[in-house]
């Protein structure tokens, strides 16, 4: 039986779902693969719970309950102050360890780099470390011990398809186009149904589709980071500031608090209603699209034919189309759920198992 120590940064929605899936799969993985996944450290924004011998099933369950109730996991078993990244990473004591980053923070990069230096592997659902400088991206990914499927398509195997089905087959990718945001997919299909932009934004917040500040989604930077990760996976040495980004709100609504934005967002209703109507008359519909072509990447609102793959997309699903030498006239299209924590958690667990065979 091979034991894989797990160190996890983040125990929010996706992080809790990952821990739940690990617990649910533990017996099956031991039986079918001879692999035992053992958490030795879990961290949230308030601190870390550490147990070098591995947390029991019951201890993990208590932590998940505490998080669901808004409590800290520190002190439930053993704990360490959250600034002690070196001690947290070193707790595994073996190069078989896998570090999991399911935060939405840019502050985990140091810990990830330290883990790679220690010979560990890492799985990321967090896009921000991979959207830092191209040098940081290469230092992490070139180790051969980092997987990041859930950074782009949640549980949809976008990175695996690009890396293993296309690049490994020496099938040059000429163009990638896709809708990568469940939030913006919800908004644009709502506009297609003649709903008002402001009400769609409010409903998306209520349904938990957006970040606490919806401008994080509406600004397009989340999609830009995903596009950048795809570009870099193909070897394009782009920086984030080189990605052309079209936000869905004007600069004057970018200041102030969330309440200020929500009080003013109705001012955009008429413009979006007009744009949706014009698209409808042309037999098209609005979609927020990422396009990678000719070494450049851009994201923004487009009017697309209703019968196109992206035009037919509905609700919170994600879709990506790869145009390559082989997939020329008919692109390779992947589509699947974009909303919900369990899709992302499934991608993380699949990455863990892929790395567990090699660490």
347: its two tokens: 């991608």
DSSP 166: I
107: its two tokens: 């502050």
DSSP 285: E
151: its two tokens: 């950074």
Largest Cα separation within the chain, whole Å, is 64
Contacts 24+ apart (CB under 8 A), 330-335: 332/161, 332/165, 332/166, 333/309, 334/153, 334/156, 334/157, 334/158, 334/161, 335/156, 335/309
Q: With residue 322 as reference, give the H or E element that holds it.
A: strand 317-324
Judge whether 2 counts as a catalytic residue: no
Measured CA to CA in angstroms, residue 214 lies from 7, 72, 181, 227, 326 at distances of: 30, 26, 13, 20, 39
Measured from the Cβ of residue 122, the count of other Cβ atoms closer than 10 Å reads 27
Among the options 67, 127, 128, 226, which is catalytic? 226
166: its two tokens: 């296309």
**Is residue 112 classed exposed, middle or buried when 0-12, 13-18 and 19+ CB atoms within 10 A define those classes?**
buried
CB 16 within 8 A of CB 50: no
Active site residues: 226
């Amino acid at each position: 039986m091979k034991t894989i120590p797990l160190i996890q940064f983040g125990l929010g929605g996706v992080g809790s779902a990952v821990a739940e899936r690990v617990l649910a799969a533990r017996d099956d993985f031991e039986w079918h693969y001879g692999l035992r996944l053992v958490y030795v450290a879990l961290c949230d924004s308030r601190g870390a719970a550490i147990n070098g011998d591995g947390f029991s099933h019951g201890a993990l369950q208590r932590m998940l309950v505490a998080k669901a109730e808004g409590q800290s996991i520190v002190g439930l078993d053993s704990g360490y102050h959250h600034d002690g990244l070196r001690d947290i990473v070193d707790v595994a004591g073996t190069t078989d360890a896998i570090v999991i980053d399911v935060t939405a923070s840019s502050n985990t990069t140091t810990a990830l780099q330290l883990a790679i230096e220690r010979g560990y592997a890492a799985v990321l659902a967090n896009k921000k470390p991979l959207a830092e400088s191209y040098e940081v991206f290469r230092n992490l990914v070139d180790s051969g011990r980092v997987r990041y499927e859930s950074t782009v398509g949640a549980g949809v195997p976008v990175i695996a398809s690009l890396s293993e089905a296309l690049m490994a087959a020496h099938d040059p990718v000429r163009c990638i186009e896709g809708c990568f945001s469940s939030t913006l997919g919800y908004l644009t299909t709502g506009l297609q149904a003649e709903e008002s932009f402001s009400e769609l934004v409010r409903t998306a917040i209520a349904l938990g589709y957006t970040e606490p500040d919806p401008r994080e989604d509406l600004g397009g930077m989340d999609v830009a980071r995903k596009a950048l990760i795809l570009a870099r996976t193909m070897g394009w040495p782009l920086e984030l500031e080189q990605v052309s980004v079209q936000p869905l709100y004007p600069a004057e609504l970018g200041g102030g608090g969330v309440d200020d934005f929500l009080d003013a967002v109705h001012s955009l209703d008429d413009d979006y209603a007009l744009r949706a109507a014009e698209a409808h008359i042309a037999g098209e519909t609005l979609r927020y699209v990422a396009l990678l072509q000719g070494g450049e990447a851009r994201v923004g609102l487009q009017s697309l034919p209703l019968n196109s793959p992206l035009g037919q997309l509905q609700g919170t699903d994600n879709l990506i189309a790869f145009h390559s030498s082989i997939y020329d006239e008919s692109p390779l299209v992947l589509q699947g759920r974009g909303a919900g924590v369990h899709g992302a958690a499934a991608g993380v667990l699949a990455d863990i198992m892929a790395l567990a065979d090699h660490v």
